[in-house]
Amino acid sequence: GKAEALARRIVAKFMDTAAGVLCDSPGTGRFSEHVQSLAILAGVLTSAQEAAAVKAVDSGRTADGKPLSKATNYFCHYLFGACAKAGRTDIILKRLDHWRAYSRYGLRTPLEDDDFDAKSDCHAWASHPIFHLHSAIAGVTPAEPFFRTVRVAPQPGGLKRIDAATPHPKGLIETRLAFDGDSVSGEVVLPDGITGEFLWRGKSLPLHGGANKIDMK
């Protein structure tokens, strides 16, 4: 269709062969996390191109050593979404060090900018890690509109435990999980009357309202 043809043309135009990733503008030699994030989210890259984009984001450099411009606080929402889509929530957890620094300096709300010379020291757009901790790390998302059913697909990103309580219109979705290599165990508690599925390493387990035991390899 037209969308697929346009995507192919855009990738062909902006792909820098030496860098291995999309550039910000052809011929400029400029690269950014922003472009890689949006390309991953849009699904316009091949699996090999996506892997190269994720590698560049993780290392901060292209294949030929050029630096990537860093995403600011608000744009990390898209960066984190791209990392979750690519199965690399470990990158999200590392980037959260930026937000952890705020608490060490006594801040209780996120800043607008990357440094402490910010226009706003209570910036709502920079509070998205709360969302990603639930949707990407704990993996709790709606499986149908209005959260009628639930999908729980945790991506621990190297964590050994996840203990979360995600808000739902009918109550809380509680995920208490332990991870050991390719194994996960624990329980998921859904509000009464809510059903869903638990996804892990390509396997699916149906979930019912109340407590569900999880033990998968």
Summarize pLDDT for 39-83 with one digit per residue, the tens: 999 999 999 999 999 999 999 999 999 999 999 999 999 999 999
pLDDT at 195 over 80: yes
Reduced to 3 states, what is the DSSP secondary structure of residue 25? coil
User: Is the pTM value of this prediction over 0.85?
Assistant: yes
H or E element in which residue 195 lies: strand 195-200
- Helices and strands, counts by H and E, the chain: 7, 12
Average pLDDT, the chain: 95
Residue 134, φ and ψ in degrees, nearest 5: -85, -45
DSSP for residue 70: P
